[in-house]
Structure 1
Amino acid sequence: MRILKLLTLAAVIAVPLAMHASSLTYTDTFTGSGSVGGVDFNNAVVTFTATADPSSLINEGGGIFALSPSTPVAFSIAGGASGVFTDSLQLFVNQSSDIAGLGDNTNDFALLYTSNPAFAAYELGAIGATSGSSIFNNFATDLGEAVYGTNKGGLDLTAAGTSTFSAVAASQVPEPSSLVLLGTGALGALGVVRRKFFV
């Protein structure tokens, strides 16, 4: 009976430890126009989402900080396409310019930044919804068109209104090993209850 109680205790302790509490979900939402894969969208709510661990912060100097592009960045357009970017994107903040958002390492263009004085001391940790004007690249030069690769075709932004940037704790999903421990603990608890009431 003592072993079963210990299994139950181990399961209860293991679940919180296995949660991905260190990761943050970064979101930038705005109303914009453009096209994806040649299909136009107009004045639609667009959301970019990425989950990353802020402990991988890179200090590039001069108040510029970035997170390495270790996880895919997803996009969704209300009433239109959704998918993931195929370009290499990076979460980025420039404190001296008061901007935070996503930059494209593939073509060295700004995908979308939100401008707000709150970013003057921000280092890509947790932050509540912070709104400001949008900054993005949309031009054709000798460097090429500012089009961003996605699994649904190129994303071309032509307009973006006020954007809202946030970084909140990622969903707390237990790893499979924790679920096994939890199940073992539950069976142990069931065994304790069964012995107590049916012996």
Structure 2
Amino acid sequence: MSSSPPDQALSLERAALSRALGRVALQDRDALQEVYRRTSRKLFGICLRILGERSEAEDAMQEVYLTIWRRAGSFDPARGNPISWLAALTRNRAIDLLRRSGRRESAPIELAVDVADESPDAETALIEQGDEARITYCIERLAKSDAAMIRTAFFEGTTYADLAGRSDLPLGTVKSRIRRALLKLRECLG
């Protein structure tokens, strides 16, 4: 059974991240930049969720990437997914910082029964990963300029007016191109 294009994209992303971590282990600064580019949003989200304050999450991120720089050699691609390894490392670092700050709000353990676990279950997390890979696959099928507009508008939050200014295109043209690109994405994701 052959894997679908989104599965292939996910496998390629994992392989690229594993290779970059291997190069970080050899003290390759460019590789660390690549790891940062590929992972910083996800890892920052973990820090922010645990620490609750942006400035503390930013401090944690600095420590996380220093730890990655020092410990990249301990990652074994045969034993696991690189993003899982990085997420666990990030989570542990954020929890350490939370403990160090002394800001632990705790309640009696008996109350834990009443706390709902709002994190997605494993099946939902896998589906979301697959969705992300499918979206990436479909965006890569767009014309480069249209893909860049979609990424900038929807992933970076840039307004259509700012996009028009950046690209020296009329606002109406930007809106039309994004609308056509969204239709192509919908068809691809169909």
Higher relative contact order (CA 8 A, sep 6+): 1
TM-score range, shorter chain: under 0.3
Structure with more of its chain in strand, by fraction: 1
Structure with more of its chain in helix, by fraction: 2
For normalisation by structure 1, the TM-score amounts to 0.24
Q: Larger C-alpha radius of gyration, 1 or 2?
A: 1
For normalisation by structure 2, the TM-score amounts to 0.25
